[in-house]
Amino acid sequence: MPHEFYKILHILGLLMIFSGLAGLWGLHVMKQPVAKIHRIGLALIHGLGMMIILVSGFGMLAKLGLFADLPTWFYLKMVVWLALGGSMVLAKRKAGLGVPLLMAWVALGTLAAYLAIYKPG
């Protein structure tokens, strides 16, 4: 598959991750009784986004021929990926953090974009 296909999948996964995080955070900020199916749906969107990002990211690495010697930016992006995956717990349990939590997600997304575009190291 072409490199652009993997890029589009990667962006789709990114949108899904942030939609799931923001949606779950919003549900818990409202402090209203919410059907369990809504929380499960948002967690599913987040989890599928994580999987799509991982698969498309490795697809792009293969297309670029970078599997032999993985660059530093790859490891940094994996740390960002793990942080975004783990932050689902923060969205649920620490929703009261509010704006600082949202800003942390924006910072992680910006760092991931920087690493993807400039590929330092």
- How many domains does the chain contain in total? 1
Q: Sorting pLDDT into bands at 50, 70 and 90, what band is 50?
A: very high
Q: Quick check: 67 and 61 in contact, CB under 8 A?
A: yes
pLDDT of residue 109: 95
Q: Sorting pLDDT into bands at 50, 70 and 90, what band is 35?
A: confident
Residue 70 neighbours by CB under 8 Å, 6+ apart: 61
Q: Which domain holds residue 69?
A: 3-118
pLDDT of residue 93: 84
Mean pLDDT value across the chain: 92
Other CB atoms closer than 10 Å to residue 7's CB: what's the count? Answer: 15
pLDDT of residue 94: 82
Per-residue pLDDT of 56-109, as tens digits, reads 999 999 998 887 788 999 999 999 999 999 998 888 888 788 889 889 999 999
